[in-house]
Amino acid sequence: QAKRQGHNHVQIYQDSMSLQFKSSAAMRSSLQEAIEKNQLTLHYQPIVRCNDGATIGYEALLRWEREPGKFISPTEFIPLAEMTGQIIPLSEWVFRRACEAAVKLQEHGPCKMAVNLSTLHFNRTEFTPFLEQTLEETGCKPEWLELELTESILMENTDYAVEVLQNLRNKNITISLDDFGTGFSSLSYLKRLPVDKVKIDRSFIAGIRTHRSDRVLIGSVIKIAQSLDFAVVAEGVETPQQAEFVTELGCNYMQGFYFGRPVPLEEL
Ligand code: C2E
Ligand code: MG
Ligand code: MG
Ligand code: MG
């Protein structure tokens, strides 16, 4: 069943990419080229604290500039890179760059760097040694690094994932659960995760104005998460009204276009 879904997924993906690539093979060699030709960059988006608006960190977001000024969205190429395995060198590149940026940013005051973690990369037994080596080589302290993972990582191999994450947390790396609310988490499941923060998916924030159900849900998620000692981040905050709303509900941190779009390091 999983395999069949996987194939279907490839089909759907090829269709949506067909304007840019004739086949997944073309996409594959093009991605290889992207790595070799330095067409990849990281952009950084601020994450602010609700109670005083201070920027406490940044999320590193991958960009593929296929031609000058023409960016391909990570939501398009990351799923394919996960399937071809190219995500491994890609993700290693991201971590190295993000750690270097984290070191540079410390000159302007303490801050964290959040990096999105690929499921495939995480499931490699070499992930923890890779990360330790990268931190050491770049001079990035573990407490500056935050790993953003999605529920799929935890669903696939729970015992293994819990153990690895607990180990990383013991080294003072922060663990965040990304896109919270879009997956299948139950509360009992959430309780046993070695997670420091949950990031409420931006689809809920977008519905604040129009959907009472989203407003009620956000309030409940914040309360439950905080009662389990997780900090809460609201994703996709685009307006002052949304910022005020989640702040009043006791949310800890916010991220979104209202505070800043993802930009290259030089622009921060
Ligand atoms: P994500 O980790 O949930 O990242 C947040 C996404 O929301 C980013 O999209 C960001 O640009 C966008 N965003 C931030 N604020 C707002 C807002 O106020 N309004 C709206 N409409 N959007 C906002 P982006 O950069 O296109 O990345 C999409 C996804 O691709 C990420 O979702 C993440 O899952 C994945 N991704 C990005 N970079 C990497 C990476 O280096 N490695 C891995 N494995 N995945 C990555
Ligand atoms: Mg993220
Ligand atoms: Mg997210
Ligand atoms: Mg997302």
pLDDT digits (tens, 9 = 90+) for 6-40: 444 443 444 445 445 556 677 777 778 887 888 89
**Atom 44 of ligand 1, residue of closest alpha carbon:** 118
- Residue 257 token pair: 């276009």
Check if the beta carbon of residue 175 is closer than 8 Å to that of residue 166: no
Q: How far away, in angstroms, is 159 Cα from ligand 3 center?
A: 24
The phi-psi region of residue 35 (left if phi > 0; otherwise alpha if psi is between -120 and 50; otherwise beta) is: alpha
Which position has the token pair 């953003």? 148
What pLDDT digit, counting tens, does each position of 52-73 carry?
Answer: 999 999 999 999 988 888 888 8
State the pLDDT at residue 6.
40
Pocket test for ligand 1, best of 83, 86, 87, 116 (most atoms within 8 A of CB): 116
Task: Give the whole-angstrom CA distance, residue 171 versus residue 163.
Answer: 13
Which position has the token pair 């977008």? 206
- Residue 207 token pair: 């519905």
Task: Give the whole-angstrom CA distance, residue 23 versus residue 26.
Answer: 5
Task: Give the whole-angstrom CA distance, residue 112 versus residue 47.
Answer: 9
pTM, two decimal places: 0.90
201 lines ligand 1 (CB under 6 A): no
94 lines ligand 1 (CB under 6 A): yes
78 lines ligand 1 (CB under 6 A): yes
Maximum CA extent, the chain: 51
Distance of CA 213 to the CA centre of its chain: 25
Task: Give the whole-angstrom CA distance, residue 124 versus residue 130.
Answer: 10
What pLDDT digit, counting tens, does each position of 160-185 carry?
Answer: 889 999 999 999 999 999 988 877 66
Task: Give the whole-angstrom CA distance, residue 180 versus residue 198.
Answer: 6
Ion ligand 2 residues within 5 Å by Cβ: 116, 148, 178
ipTM given for this complex: 0.98
Task: Give the whole-angstrom CA distance, residue 216 versus residue 208.
Answer: 9
- What's the half-sphere exposure (Cβ side, CA atoms, 13 Å) at 260? 20
Judged by its nearest atom, the ligand closest to the C-alpha of residue 236 is 1
Task: Give the whole-angstrom CA distance, residue 263 versus residue 155.
Answer: 32
- Residue 134 token pair: 């990268």
75 lines ligand 1 (CB under 6 A): yes
State the pLDDT at residue 117.
96
Q: Is 172 helix (H, G, I), strand (E, B) or coil?
A: coil
**Atom 12 of ligand 1, residue of closest alpha carbon:** 236
Closest atom of ligand 1 relative to the 118 alpha carbon: 44
74 lines ligand 1 (CB under 6 A): yes
Helices vs strands, H then E, count in the chain: 12, 9
